[in-house]
Amino acid sequence: MASYCLLAGRLQQALGHGARRYHISAVLCQRAKVAMSQFEPNEYISYEKVEKNIDIVRKRLDRPLTLSEKIVYGHLDDPVKQDIVRGKTYLRLRPDRVAMQDATAQMAMLQFISSGLPRVAVPSTIHCDHLIEAQLGGDQDLKRAKDVNKEVYNFLATAAGKYGVGFWKPGSGIIHQIILENYAYPGVLLIGTDSHTPNGGGLGGICIGVGGADAVDVMAGIPWELKCPNVIGVKLTGKLSGWSSPKDVILKVAGILTVKGGTGAIVEYHGPGVDSISCTGMATICNMGAEIGATTSVFPYNHRMKKYLEKTGRSGVASVADEFKSSLVPDEGCEYDQLIELNLDELKPHINGPFTPDLATPVSQVGAVAEQKGWPLDIRVDIKKGEKNTIVTSYNRNFTGRNDANPETHAFVTSPEVFVTLPLVRLLL
Name the DSSP letter for residue 181.
I
- pLDDT of res. 29: 35
- pLDDT of res. 256: 98
- pLDDT of res. 9: 41
- pLDDT of res. 17: 40
Name residues whose C-beta falls within 8 Å of residue 250's C-beta, 6 or more positions apart in sequence: 284, 285, 288, 289
CATH superfamily of 97-346: Aconitase, domain 3 (3.30.499.10)
CA distance 20 to 308: 45
Domain-wise residue ranges, the chain: 1-30, 97-346, 350-425
CATH superfamily of 350-425: Aconitase, domain 3 (3.30.499.10)
The dihedral built from the CA positions of residue 117, 76, 290 and 317, taken in this order, carries a sign that is: positive
- pLDDT of res. 390: 85
Strand order in the sheet with 409-414: 360-362, 350-352, 409-414, 389-393
In this structure, how many other beta carbons lie within 10 angstroms of the beta carbon of residue 80? 9
Compute the half-sphere exposure of residue 141: CA atoms within 13 Å on the CB side of its CA. 11
- pLDDT of res. 2: 41
Compute CA 234 distance to the chain's CA centroid, rounded to the nearest angstrom: 16
CA distance 38 to 25: 28
Percent of the chain residues past pLDDT 70, beyond the cut: 91
- pLDDT of res. 424: 66
Amino acid at 256: I
What pLDDT, in 10s, does the model give residues 326-350? 999 999 999 999 999 999 999 999 9
Domains 97-346 and 350-425 share a fold: yes
Alpha helices in 94-148 (DSSP H): 102-114, 138-148
In this structure, how many other beta carbons lie within 10 angstroms of the beta carbon of residue 161? 11
CB of 410 closer than 8 Å to CB of 391: yes
How would you classify the pairing of strands 230-237 and 338-343? parallel
Q: Which of the residues in the chain have pLDDT under 70?
A: 1-32, 423-429
